[in-house]
Amino acid sequence: MGAQNGNVAIDGFVASGKSTVGRALARRLEYLYLDTGAMYRSVALLALRNGVAVDQESALVDMLEAHKVSVETRDRTQLGYVVLIDAKDVTVRLFDPDVTAAVSAVAALPAIRAALVVRQREIARAGPVVMAGRDIGTVVLPDAPHKFFLTASLDERARRRRLELEERGVEIALDEVRKQIEERDRLDESRVTAPLKRAPDAVLIDSTGIGADTVVERMLAAIRDAA
């Protein structure tokens, strides 16, 4: 598979398994893995740190230009990558509740999306890459030969997300997680620029009651079938 045409786009709802599955798939294919959500989270973190309001679009763009944000593959870490801001590892901080609460507003801003999409396409050009996000199959890599759209029931996604948070020491009621997920899905689907939606040519996978391994096998089978 050539570097230009092997790219895999994975989009889907909050906690639908994109990261777990994307990372495992990238390993199997020996591709680079890019979690684009981490890029949006980095901007949200920078905004919090610099005291820039999340609706100040041009101030946020200036802020982004003033810092070096990079995502580097690190196979031995839990996520498979680290995010560096000005050469400092901020990965753990990206998943804190304050960053999660701010990220949807940042991700709705067209100028921020435009800046990050340029970087995402650069990474894909150097690929091949498994890229996970919300608009990969529709906007970032509309010509990707392999596209998947992941979903799972709200209850299952809430349980998964709660477990992840628990593992990181964050205690939160299941109902609260469910509400937060619903709200973030609503914001992702309803924003004007690059809303979350399934590309017409994306393979839909509902992972309710299915392990990540099985989802990866299905994806590999779809990729093989398309070859």
What are phi and psi for residue 36, nearest 5 degrees?
-70, -20
207 is a contact residue toward ligand DC (CB under 6 A): no
Q: Are 63 and 44 in contact (CB under 8 A)?
A: no
Residue nearer to ligand DC on the CB measure, 166 or 221: 166
Out of 8, 107, 181, 199, the only residue in the binding site for ligand DC (CB under 6 A) is 107
Q: How many CA atoms lie less than 13 Å away from 28 in the CB half-sphere?
A: 17
Burial class (CB in 10 A: 0-12, 13-18, 19+), 36: buried
Least distance in Å: CB of 136 to ligand DC? 6
Amino acid, res. 189: E
| Per-residue contact flags (x/-) with ligand DC for residues 39 to 68, judged by CB under 6 A | -xx---------------------------
Residue nearer to ligand DC on the CB measure, 64 or 221: 64
Near ligand DC in 122-161, by CB under 6 A: 133-136
Residue nearer to ligand DC on the CB measure, 95 or 210: 95
Least distance in Å: CB of 209 to ligand DC? 22
Residue nearer to ligand DC on the CB measure, 22 or 128: 22
DSSP assignment of 112-165 equals: HHHHHHHHHHHHHHT--EEEEESSIIIII-TT-SEEEEEE--HHHHHHHHHHHH
Give the C-alpha separation, 10 to 133, whole Å: 6
Pairing verdict, β 8-12 and 146-151: parallel
Out of 188, 199, 205, 207, the only residue in the binding site for ligand DC (CB under 6 A) is 188
CB neighbours of 47 closer than 8 A, spacing ≥ 6? 53, 54, 60, 63, 102, 106
| Per-residue contact flags (x/-) with ligand DC for residues 2 to 41, judged by CB under 6 A | ------------x---------------------xx--xx
* Residue numbers at the binding site for ligand DC (CB under 6 A): 14, 36-37, 40-41, 103-104, 107, 133-136, 184, 188
